[in-house]
Amino acid sequence: MERITWDQYFMAQSHLLALRSTCTRLMVGATIVRDKRIIAGGYNGSVSGDVHCIDEGCYVIDGHCVRTVHAEANALLQCAKFGVPTDGADIYVTHFPCLQCTKQLIQSGIKNVFYAEDYHNHPYAVQLFEEAGVKTQKVPLIDVKVDTNFAEKDAFVQDLVEKLDRKDLSLAERDKIKANAECLFLNEGKWR
């Protein structure tokens, strides 16, 4: 088996962090790294002790959910809270940073921003990164190595199985399809 690259490893960590997000509009994760060591992580979610978007919906003003603290900001704040310097560190983010996060990342001394997906890349954010000498690089997560769409695949398989149950297939054929789906999506046993 081939090992994943450091970039894929840290990006996978960010995608894992995103699964903790409480925002229903976009799940984002961020991992701050120095010398190939994770020093902090964050995801977008409500201020500690406040209600969450998943519970009461997003609080949208001017097209933005103001209830959440962004993933990048949460990761930076974690460093500040525990006295971990960010100068010269890298950050891996599931989505290109917004303008406010861009300014915070620059001010905190982050030198490299790796992101998996473009997301309303603001031209001024791109300009600020360039002017500050912060390198940005798109590093899409290789889904074959880390499956971030498990829930969608599981729903698809369940729907497929229900449809197969309604078709005129022999019990053996249905069982084989079900077993192969479980093998493929749940890693249980060998493909038949």
Give strand pairing partners of 34.
Answer: 37
Annotation marks residue 152 as catalytic: no
Q: Is 81 exposed, middle or buried (0-12, 13-18, 19+ CB in 10 A)?
A: exposed
Choose the catalytic residue: 72, 117, 162, 182: 72
Q: Is 34 exposed, middle or buried (0-12, 13-18, 19+ CB in 10 A)?
A: middle
What distance in Å separates the CA atoms of residue 39 and residue 84, rounded to the nearest whole number? 7
Tell me which residues are annotated as active site.
72
